[in-house]
Structure 1
Amino acid sequence: MKFAQKIASAVLGPAPVSRDRALGLSERLAAVTTLTSSLEYLSQRKEIRQGGLNDWNIVKDVQAESTPLVRRLLDAVSGPRTTTALHVARAAVAAGMLLPGNSRLRGAGSLFLGASSALLYPRHRYGTDGSDQVAILVQTATGAARLARSPQAKDALLWYVALQANLSYLVSGWVKLIGEPWRDASALSGVMRTRTYGHPGMYRWTQEHPTAAKYLTHGVLALECLFPLAYACGGRLARPVIASAAAFHLANGYFMGLGRFVTAFTAMHPMVAYTSTPRSHPAVAGRDDRALPVALALLAAAAGIAAGTAVQRRLRTTEGWHTSRVLTTRHGNELQYEVLSPGDDGRPVLVFAAGMVSTSEHFAWITERLAQDTGHGVVTYARAGYAGSRHRDPGRFCLGRSVDDLVDLVNGAVAPDRQVILVGHSLGGEIARRAARQLGERVHGVVYLDASHPDELNRSAQQSETAGRLRGSLVQMTWYLRLGTGILMARPDWLESLPVAYRKKVFAQYADARMWEAGLREWDAVEADFRAHRGDLAPIGGAHGLVVSAQQTVDRDPDQLLMHRELAEAHRGGGRTRTVVVEGAGHDTLLTMSRYAHQVADAITEFFALAPAGGAPSGATAAAMATTATAATTATGKETVK
């Protein structure tokens, strides 16, 4: 009985470490990380020379958006000789940090190592990893703690590192939990079979012992998700939690080759041990714990701000524009739509259908051009679940529901005596194609903008491979945004290419979970639908067909060009057809970049001979439109718009 109690006492209980002891252990472990790092870089100096992986003449382009002062500073330290000298100095200081002692000079040494790591981080853009970031964090905090004279300041810095350690494990674990590979325990074998981080022996073990591999995978997941339990019950779980985390990093170092991770992450463990020990223990007597409630208060405030931002974005997303209208479809869905231009009676109305996880505002450059320059009506709408459109359908969602919604929108928003031209991008193109068959003679034509093909997952290896990762990305984005992390999202670069008036509205949708939830719902239905596709495309009656492809899409995947041609062929039953490739455009930039979008608008105008708002086309424009109409009548042509 006493033996069992001794074992329990050795395993369960706090890990008492004094303030000075915690500082010493942490700074030495972090110094080992820096020493290893600099020795590795010194042994691979060819990578920083001209033509190397980290040739500064190439790598510095990443810093183009930095301030002039930062760029000058980085240029000053990024010459091969200067970089080498810095690493030699870092190695010498790091080696000195391993010597015994508690001098305040150790603080200056740690600060030098942390600052030099941060300065060299952009220099070694390819090859750096999370261990360098953790080392910078620990060295900055321990250096400041060494130089601080107040015990309260020292404790605040130690608490800072300890809380960062808890946060790193906690976030890593819950992010993994969102991913299906960690929940179904396939992640471990998946990593072990990779060339970069894999280990053949460990991979074979996971295949030969699937049950044990499953327990191991879930054990790692539990360790990270529950790491803060080290503070529970007076720190009784501190020892097993810290020991398990250290063992986890040792395994990563051996099997995955992440040697620096071992010393980098374990450098935070002494701080965890120090802060998780009850204040009544002699080793931590007098410890100042005010940093914890302050951190929790800041966290609560941040959560409140994040929630407020999410609510504001949700309201901006759902309120639409002041001209927005709403139509209820046969399935009970409420579609929010915009009539950007009513157009002249008797002329076809252009109705735009966006792609998956996209907004109707993505068409802004095209719709503004067509609304202003032609006498035709222009209508955009958001599918159920996007923007202010509500998904009310109680039935199981399938792609046909979105097709029915588009048909109902056309019949409800466009006068019965007017024809429509359906314009769809990506998935919106396939929805438009199917809707055209239902609408029959009401459809004057269909425009496919880098549109999806129902057989693309079966015929395109690239599309099929991408599909395997897409659902995981949608799931992760949905959960991240549900948890309020939208406040951390940066504005994507492509957003700045849209007209200024649309950017806030689009970003609000992009940073709101509703769009990603709708996209996930659509993708599940689309994948099942496309995988089951067999046979040729059904003909589209007498409707004209204009197929516009992005050059980057067809260059990257030649199968896509063949399928785009088939979309045009489906209109050969009586309508005119044409295929156009926009040089330089990508799948999304076809819409978001004005120069490409205006080429698309011009192609639509010419193909359908859309008259300007002031009347019929004249001069060279009229002749070009007439030539377009005549040439496209007899055969499907391929053009490149420059």
Structure 2
Amino acid sequence: MIRKLKTSVMAALCCTVIGGGLAGCDGDAMENWDPFAAATQKADADLISGTKKIDVAGQSVNVSCSGDPAQGAPVIILMHGAGDGLDKMAAVQKTLSEKNRVCSYDRLGSGASGKPEGAQSLDSTGKVLTGVLDRVAGDGPVVLAGHSLGGLIAARYAPDHQDRVKGVVLMDATSPTMLGDIKKAIPESAKGPAAEMRAQNLAVFEGQNPEMLVITDGEVRSAGNIPVEVIQHGQQYLAAIPEYGPSLEKAWAAGQRKWLALSSDSKLSTAAKSGHHIYVDQPEIAVKAIQRVTSQAANAR
């Protein structure tokens, strides 16, 4: 029971823990990469169909694309949570591709993509996303649809790339203040499973995860008036954590509301029958939200 509980909660907090630390890691290669200097990425104009590995700043990134492109319509980019990969979003991608052009990708350290060369930041993982967008969407508009950690990355990316990100869907996205939320909800004095959960998640946020991504708290910055939909889970599984579960649920719900500041045109909804993986538990809710945002983004052009 403890093992099962730990697995579900770690997923909810966007985490998959690894044992090793980051000693000796060097993230300079990704930190200093200028995606706009990589003209060859945009020059490669053949349309990706199916799954293919592309080169982004010398790193192998696994990408999957499906559906037909439409003039002026945004390309939907699906972004998985930590510990997952693009394969887990395949069913939703297939459904969406009946009407839209859809792509997904494995971040460095995830799925079939290469491992990062060193510690990553939200900035460096965003540069990889830029390289992917250059390849699959060129200069065209995109809608980012992210789950958990993928949602956090999408929401951090959008304000700095308003020229290309024209809509965002966040599916139970990791809170913008999750590190502080964990420390507040589960005090340092906690014992038992809750204490283990606290320690493991803090380690993950410090970079002890397959993506070697250091996850920091921060204010939500605006991406203008692009359409944004935030979907939160309705099945309060975090409440199962002894003593501290209700506090975690409140913190998670508060984090979802904070993401509404991403746009002046944002709304929050609840997937009543869903746990953390909304696109698996209630895929129709995820699909309709992504389709709505994509349609709004297309009509706004």
Structure 2-normalised TM-score? Answer: 0.69
Correspondent of 1:560 among 248, 252, 270: 252
Counterpart check, 1:328 vs 2:55: yes
Counterpart check, 1:429 vs 2:185: no
Deviations 1:502-561 (A, max 9, x none): xxxxxxxxxxxxxxxx972446612xx23xx4xx31111232211011112598412222
Following TM superposition, where does structure 1 have runs of at least 4 consecutive aligned residues deviating by more than 4 angstroms?
A: 462-465
Aligned to 1:446: 168
| Alignment CA distance shift 1:426-1:551 (3 Å) | same
By how many angstroms is 1:322 displaced? Answer: 8.9
| Alignment CA distance shift 1:414-1:179 (3 Å) | closer
| Contact persistence 1:407–1:438 (CA under 8 A) | no
Q: How does 1:73-472 map to 2 (within 5 A)?
A: 323-330=50-57, 332-372=58-98, 374=99, 376-391=100-115, 393=117, 395-416=118-139, 418-460=140-182, 461-462=184-185, 466-470=197-201
By how many angstroms is 1:354 displaced? Answer: 0.6
Counterpart check, 1:600 vs 2:289: no
Q: Counterparts of 1:547 and 1:524 in 2: how far apart (Å)? A: 23
Q: Supply the AA of the counterpart residue of 1:548.
A: I
Q: Counterparts of 2:262 and 2:292 in 1: how far apart (Å)? A: 21
Structure 2: 5+ residue stretches without partners: 1-17, 21-47, 188-193, 240-248
SS at match of 2:138: coil
Q: Supply the AA of the counterpart residue of 2:168.
A: V
Q: Supply the AA of the counterpart residue of 2:135.
A: G
Q: Counterparts of 1:471 and 1:566 in 2: how far apart (Å)? A: 21
By how many angstroms is 1:609 displaced? Answer: 3.3
Percent identical: 21
Aligned to 2:279: 591
Q: Counterparts of 2:116 and 2:19 in 1: how far apart (Å)? A: 28
Q: Supply the AA of the counterpart residue of 1:584.
A: K
Q: Supply the AA of the counterpart residue of 1:360.
A: L
By how many angstroms is 1:581 displaced? Answer: 0.3
SS at match of 2:109: coil
Q: Supply the AA of the counterpart residue of 1:598.
A: E
Q: Counterparts of 1:552 and 1:520 in 2: how far apart (Å)? A: 26
By how many angstroms is 1:341 displaced? Answer: 1.7
| Contact persistence 1:554–1:560 (CA under 8 A) | no
Q: Counterparts of 2:271 and 2:119 in 1: how far apart (Å)? A: 38
| Contact persistence 1:446–1:544 (CA under 8 A) | yes
Q: Counterparts of 1:179 and 1:446 in 2: how far apart (Å)? A: 33
Q: Counterparts of 1:179 and 1:401 in 2: how far apart (Å)? A: 23
Q: Supply the AA of the counterpart residue of 2:82.
A: M
Aligned to 1:547: 230
Q: Counterparts of 2:211 and 2:186 in 1: how far apart (Å)? A: 16
Q: Counterparts of 1:426 and 1:463 in 2: how far apart (Å)? A: 20
Aligned to 1:303: none
Q: Counterparts of 2:160 and 2:125 in 1: how far apart (Å)? A: 13
Q: Counterparts of 2:208 and 2:84 in 1: how far apart (Å)? A: 9
| Alignment CA distance shift 1:179-1:364 (3 Å) | closer
Aligned to 2:7: none
Deviations 1:272-308 (A, max 9, x none): xxxxxxxxxxxxxxxxxxxxxxxxxxxxxxxxxxxxx
Q: Counterparts of 1:428 and 1:580 in 2: how far apart (Å)? A: 18
Structure 1-normalised TM-score? Answer: 0.34
Deviations 1:379-430 (A, max 9, x none): 010011222211353x5322322111112211222131x2100011000011
| Contact persistence 1:571–1:577 (CA under 8 A) | yes
How many aligned residue pairs are there?
237
Higher helix residue share:
1
Q: Supply the AA of the counterpart residue of 1:602.
A: K
Q: Supply the AA of the counterpart residue of 1:452.
A: T
Q: Supply the AA of the counterpart residue of 2:232.
A: S
By how many angstroms is 1:608 displaced? Answer: 4.0
By how many angstroms is 1:443 displaced? Answer: 0.9
Q: Counterparts of 2:75 and 2:185 in 1: how far apart (Å)? A: 36
By how many angstroms is 1:350 displaced? Answer: 0.5
User: What do you get for the CA RMSD once the two structures are aligned?
Assistant: 3.3
Aligned to 1:570: 262
Q: Counterparts of 2:159 and 2:284 in 1: how far apart (Å)? A: 28
| Alignment CA distance shift 1:548-1:179 (3 Å) | closer
Aligned to 2:214: 525
User: Which of the pair has the greater relative contact order for Cα pairs under 8 Å at 6+ separation?
Assistant: 2
| Contact persistence 2:56–2:132 (CA under 8 A) | yes
- Higher Rg: 1
SS at match of 2:170: strand
By how many angstroms is 1:434 displaced? Answer: 1.9
| Contact persistence 2:169–2:293 (CA under 8 A) | no
